[in-house]
């Protein structure tokens, strides 16, 4: 579905116009903070039926897991990851944070999902329509807002169903649909999205301003809302830590890194995350962004048939494997229901 461009919110021409700029093709992954790891696994693999494609540790805090859920192959754009920091205080709502992850489900599947979520006692909100699409909002076990979106354009995305999922292939989550961002100034954040990253304005509905890259299809947009009346939000369990955007390769990453720098951001140097290379920066409203390369991908260090069966550690932590495995909680894969 296409939305008219609101001329009133178009940015004035800037040195790097979106059509000349090589922008991101969409979301790469979203990372969030959860409570206890087993509860997180039970929900995302056991209830939502996503595949745990990688079990690793937070590279900056190796006593904490880093759990990656995606489609069967871990395609870029399907990946929702968590740092389970069980001892952390709950998130504080407010501006400067991404406040909801939406996940694409096939058109017509929300009846299935609604029944399934109720059966597992999930906190499900009232069904909504957003920009013409059916949406089921819910809250995960640690307070994070998640929305399932019946997304017609998700059907054209690269997706491999997970045969070990408790959810039938026809209803499985197809990838990241979008995210919501609460901002102190929509104008300032929108200017950055447009001038620095090549987004364009698609329209407004119920206070949410939609900005997209590419065609604005599944995985290619964010919804931004003015929350200037609130206080600044703070990370905690149940909060979204960062939104990662896809770049094709090192060269493309350098190009977009330069573009966001020109728009006023202060990106980090390139950090090798082994499954992709990353650059981090905050957009002007405070939401942490990442630019992540599509490759090499999750199969670089594990056979896809055996994803996440063992704890994967970066090479410099291998010598501490025994100590790390003693500290992180033992995880049991949920049984297919
Ligand atoms: Zn990331």
- Tell me the per-residue pLDDT of 73-122, one tens digit each, with 9 for 90 and over: 999 999 999 999 989 999 999 999 999 999 999 999 999 999 999 999 99
pLDDT at 154 over 50: yes
Model confidence band, residue 336 (pLDDT cutoffs 50, 70, 90)? low
Between CA 190 and CA 285 the distance in angstroms is 10
Ligand 1 centroid–CA 140 distance in Å is 20
Ligand 1 centroid–CA 277 distance in Å is 10
Domain boundaries, the chain: 21-327
Architecture of the domain whose range is 21-327: Roll (3.10)
Ligand 1 centroid–CA 291 distance in Å is 8
- Tell me the per-residue pLDDT of 52-77, one tens digit each, with 9 for 90 and over: 999 999 999 999 999 999 999 999 99
Model confidence band, residue 10 (pLDDT cutoffs 50, 70, 90)? very low
pLDDT at 138 over 60: yes
Q: If you write DSSP's letter for every residue of 208-273 in order, what string do you get?
A: EEEEESTT--TTSEEEEEE-TTS-B-B--BT-EEEEEEEESSHHHHHHHHHHHHHTT--PPPPEE-
Ligand 1 centroid–CA 29 distance in Å is 6
**What is the overall mean pLDDT for the chain?**
93
Ligand 1 centroid–CA 263 distance in Å is 21
Ligand 1 centroid–CA 311 distance in Å is 18
pTM for the model stands at: 0.94
Ligand 1 centroid–CA 127 distance in Å is 30
Ligand 1 centroid–CA 242 distance in Å is 6
Coil, strand or helix at 11: coil
- Tell me the per-residue pLDDT of 249-288, one tens digit each, with 9 for 90 and over: 999 999 999 999 999 999 999 999 999 999 999 999 999 9
Q: How confident is the model at residue 13, as a pLDDT?
A: 44
Work out the average pLDDT over 180-186. 98
């Amino acid at each position: 579905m296409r939305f008219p461009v609101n001329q009133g919110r178009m940015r004035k021409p800037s040195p790097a116009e979106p059509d000349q700029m090589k922008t991101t093709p969409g979301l790469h992954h979203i990372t969030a903070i959860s409570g206890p790891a087993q509860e997180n696994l039970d929900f995302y693999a056991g209830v939502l039926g996503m595949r745990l494609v990688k079990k690793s540790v937070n590279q900056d805090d190796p006593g904490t897991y880093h759990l990656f859920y995606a489609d069967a192959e871990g395609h870029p754009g399907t990946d929702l990851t968590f740092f389970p920091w069980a001892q952390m205080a709950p998130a504080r709502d407010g501006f400067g944070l991404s406040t909801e992850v939406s996940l694409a489900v096939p058109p017509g599947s929300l009846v299935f999902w609604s029944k399934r979520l109720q059966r597992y006692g999930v906190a499900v909100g009232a069904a909504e329509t957003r920009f013409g699409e059916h949406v089921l909002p819910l809250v995960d076990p640690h307070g994070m807002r998640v929305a399932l979106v019946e997304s017609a354009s998700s059907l054209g995305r690269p997706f491999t169903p997970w045969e070990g999922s408790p959810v039938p292939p026809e209803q499985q989550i197809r990838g990241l649909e979008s995210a919501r961002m609460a901002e102190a100034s929509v104008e300032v954040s929108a200017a950055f999205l447009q001038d620095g990253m090549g987004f364009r304005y698609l329209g407004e509905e119920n206070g949410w301003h939609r900005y997209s890259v590419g065609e604005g299809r599944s995985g290619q947009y964010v919804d931004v809302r003015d929350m200037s009346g609130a206080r600044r939000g703070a990370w905690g369990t149940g909060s979204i830590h960062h939104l990662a955007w896809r770049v094709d390769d090192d060269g493309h990453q350098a190009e977009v890194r330069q573009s966001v720098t020109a728009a006023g951001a202060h990106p980090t140097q390139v950090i090798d995350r082994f499954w992709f290379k990353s650059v981090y920066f905050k957009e002007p409203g405070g939401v942490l962004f990442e630019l992540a390369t599509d490759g090499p991908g999750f199969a670089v260090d594990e056979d896809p048939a055996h994803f996440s069966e063992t704890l994967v550690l970066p090479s410099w932590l291998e010598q501490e494997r025994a100590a790390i495995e003693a500290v992180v909680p033992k995880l049991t894969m949920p049984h297919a229901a």
